[in-house]
Structure 1
Amino acid sequence: MQHSTPNRPDTLGADLRALRKSRGLTLTDMADALGRSVGWLSQVERDISEPSITDLRHIAAALDVSVSMLFRHEAAPAHEAGFVVRKDARRTIGAYTAGLVEELLSPDLTDDFEMVHSTFQPHSRITEEVIRQTQEVGYLLSGKLEIEINGTTHLIHPGDSFRIRGEPFRWANPFDAPAVAIWVIAPPEY
């Protein structure tokens, strides 16, 4: 029996399963990492059992996501669940890199891709290269963004798009205005 709470999406189990699979973990691998049984984890992924806050912290650590990503979400009305994500109901995701706010635009993480709304604050940057086994396409809505892909820096303007296919990348917004981009990432990373 599924129980919905205001702080937890109805799709928590499906999201956990998608995240686990995207990291190449079996139920046994994940259960071992959590010190829990495969049966318990299977029930959580099927929304039969509800994990405690402590369990969510351990799950988030094992999946390398923020705890808030797992329960900062407004439940959608039944007729919109799985189809529509309202602006004020987006889940904040990502590693909370200084100066970057990421929100999930996809209803959940069960598709072959995820869509993310990214806001890069003025004068923010990441210094470490990011390497993910994904294919990503970004589209800049506003501001300007420097994106370095495989050692080459590109200045991206509103209306420009870019693609990253597993190459090392980093970004910087050395400008005075925020940069806002939409990213599509396959397979889902968050």
Structure 2
Amino acid sequence: MTSNRSVGIDLRALRKNRGLTVTEMSALIGRSIGFISQIERGLSQPSINDLRKIAAVFGVPISFFFSESAAHPSEARHIVRRDDRRSLGTPAGGVVDQLLSPDLGGSFETLLSEFAPHSELVDAVQRGTEEAGYVISGTLEIEISGVWHELRQGDSFRFVGEPYRWRNRTDAPAILVWVIAPPVY
């Protein structure tokens, strides 16, 4: 598992990004307010069972909390090496995101998103975010405010607070860099 401090930083960022108070978080996982506070400050380490509950609340795999980075201390807060990326989301949803940022803190998050062949987000999502993306490879169709757009390698997009959904109707994955502000993970 990553250090107590790293787990705490990620927990605080996830909680704040979702607009949850420490009190609400403690109720959701059945632990005390003080315990949540200690985790966030790097003073306590959650159990595997606690991490399962936390992961479920935020919709991230439990493995998110177990990434061991071989990063040199001078890189730890600034650089993410290819083999050290943390996965968010699950293949069952048709998209797997890898966190390109060193942690979940900050005013935006940068993701490498892989959309599986023949996958689709059926119901439109609308959140109070600004989102932008760049297609590295493949083809992805994205509907923004009721209008479908086909994006291919080298294309990009941006929208602010508008309903959107996506689909990949091809036999190949679509890979995008996706930036979201404020963070949603």
SS at match of 1:110: coil
Matching residue within 158, 161, 166 for 1:163: 158
How much does 1:42 deviate?
0.8
Matching residue within 34, 38, 52 for 1:39: 34
Matching residue within 109, 116, 138 for 1:114: 109
Alpha-carbon distance between aligned partners in 1 of 2:125 and 2:92, rounded to the nearest angstrom: 12
How much does 1:84 deviate?
0.5
1:7-156 mapped onto 2 (5 Å cutoff): 7-8=1-2, 11-156=6-151
Q: Which amino acid is 1:135 matched to?
A: E
Q: Is the 8 A contact 1:140 1:160 kept in 2?
A: yes
How much does 1:73 deviate?
4.7
1:3 matched to which residue of 2? none
Evaluate the alpha carbon distance shift between residue 73 and residue 97 of structure 1 in structure 2; reply closer, same or farther with a 3 A threshold: farther
Structure 1 stretches of 4+ with a deviation exceeding 6 A read: none
SS at match of 1:171: strand
**What is the aligned length?**
184
How much does 1:79 deviate?
1.7
Unaligned runs of 5+ in 2: none
Per-residue CA shift, 1:21-56, capped at 9, x if unaligned? Answer: 111111112112222221111110111100000001
How much does 1:65 deviate?
2.8
C-alpha RMSD of matched pairs (Å) = 1.7
Q: Is the 8 A contact 1:8 1:75 kept in 2?
A: no
In the superposition, the TM-score normalised over structure 2's length comes to 0.91
Q: Is the 8 A contact 2:61 2:87 kept in 1?
A: no
Q: Which moved more, 1:123-132 or 1:40-49?
A: 123-132
Alpha-carbon distance between aligned partners in 2 of 1:88 and 1:59, rounded to the nearest angstrom: 24
In the superposition, the TM-score normalised over structure 1's length comes to 0.89
Evaluate the alpha carbon distance shift between residue 50 and residue 131 of structure 1 in structure 2; reply closer, same or farther with a 3 A threshold: same
Q: Which amino acid is 1:164 matched to?
A: F
Matching residue within 170, 173, 179 for 2:174: 179
Q: Is the 8 A contact 1:148 1:170 kept in 2?
A: yes
Alpha-carbon distance between aligned partners in 2 of 1:8 and 1:96, rounded to the nearest angstrom: 23
Unaligned runs of 5+ in 1: 1-6
Alpha-carbon distance between aligned partners in 2 of 1:131 and 1:95, rounded to the nearest angstrom: 20
